[in-house]
Copies of this chain bind each other. A is one copy, B any other.
Amino acid sequence: MERHFDHDLSELKQRLLTMASQAETAVNRAIEALTTRNYDLAIQVKQNDEILDRGEVEIDELAIRLLAKAPLATDLRLVMVAMKISQNLERVGDEAAKIAKRARDLSQEPPVKINVDLPRMAGLALVMLKGALDAFVNRDSAAARALIPRDEEVDALNKQINGELTQFMMSDRDSIPRCLNLMIATRSLERIADHATNIAEEVVYLCEAADIRHTAK
């Protein structure tokens, strides 16, 4: 029984790491598809989303099996956190798929003649996601805590880009549908940073047994 538990627990961790790397890849590719106007890559990201959907379901199954074995308090926290992180990664995959969908549509249209700082926002969202996952792997509560305030930078960039796109739409009405696609992609980046923040909060909970959600704002 004990051995089964340890085996399932290490499988849970392994699967979560696989999911983390899949989610990161999806976001990277979606952003690449968007910025390089790559239709085929966009389609591929959209199609791969079900891998993360499956990951979430499988991790929940494993977690339920583990929870039924009455683990120690520290194991219990790890299982709970694994479930929450996997859920966030699944959502990250959804957002990557949404970006890919907009990238697909935008790749078929002339480029919008506006220079918004999407690459910086994408870079920041990715840094947050990678940082949160590294903090989980290294059980680094301080690194996780340091990440959380960066969400505000992403929110500020999101607001700025939305303002610029709105102005541009008002000056060039033919650009409206394409600008809306860019806005939706921007919003997905903002959501990815939110999920990274959630993951960081779960890491703090795992390391310190302190629930810090909803305390920052």
* A interface residues, Cβ below 8 angstroms from B: 50, 53-54, 56-57, 60-61, 64, 67-68, 70, 73, 76-77, 80, 162, 166, 169-170, 173-174, 176-177, 180, 183, 211, 213-214
Contacts and interface: CB of A to CB of B under 8 A. Distances in A.
A162 B53 CA distance: 27
Contact of A213 (B53, B64, B169): B53
A177 B170 CA distance: 9
B173 A211 contact: no
Tell me whether chain A's interface is mostly helix, strand or loop, or mixed. helix
B68 A76 contact: yes
A83 B89 CA distance: 18
B60 A211 contact: yes
Contacts of A73: 68
A214 B54 contact: yes
A214 B59 CA distance: 14
Contacts of A76: 64, 67-68
Given A67-B76, A76-B67, A53 B169 contact: no
B50 A64 contact: no
Nearest to A80: B64
Report, nearest first, the 4 A-B pairs whose CB atoms are least far apart. Answer: A70-B70, A53-B214, A170-B173, A170-B176
A77 B63 CA distance: 11
A112 to B, nearest CB: 15
Contacts of A53: 213-214
A173 B176 CA distance: 10
Contacts of A56: 213-214
